Amino acid sequence: MTDKTTDLEARLAAQRLVLEWLLERIATDKDTAKALVEHVDARFPPQDHQEDPGAVPVNAFADFAATEAELRLLLDPVRARHDLLED
C-alpha cells in the first residue's frame, strides 16, 4: 500500500468511528432507528437501462455494492440494538 492509501484508510476508519458514535446517540428509540433505516433503505440502485438490470456490468453497480456494504456495517448495530434485524 502507498502512504496515500494508508492515510485514506486511516481517515475513513476514524470517520466511521465518529459516525458509529453519532448513530448511537441519534437513534435512541425504536421509532427513530426505524425511520433512519427506512430512509437509508429507500435508496435505489443505479440504472443501466437494461431489460435485466445488472446484466451488463457497469462500475456504478460495484460502487453501489460497496456503499451498501458500508451502510450495513454502520446500521447493523442500530438495527440490533432496536430489534430491527431481518432474519
Across the range 56-76, mean pLDDT stands at 84
Query: What is the per-residue pLDDT across 27-49, written as a single tens digit (0 to 9) for each?
Result: 999 999 999 999 988 876 666 66
| Residue 52 confidence (pLDDT) | 67
Share of the chain above pLDDT 90, in %: 55
Across the range 14-26, mean pLDDT stands at 94
Tell me: pLDDT of 60 over 90. Answer: no
Residue 3 is placed in which grid cell?
502512504
- Give the per-residue SS3 of the chain: CCHHHHHHHHHHHHHHHHHHHHHHHHCCCHHHHHHHHHHHHCCCCCCCCCCCCCCCCCHHHHHHHHHHHHHHHHHHHHHHHCCCCCC
Query: Measured in whole angstroms, how far is the alpha carbon of residue 11 from the centre of its chain?
Result: 17
pTM of the predicted structure, to 2 decimals: 0.70
- CA–CA gap between residue 49 and residue 71 (Å, rounded): 25
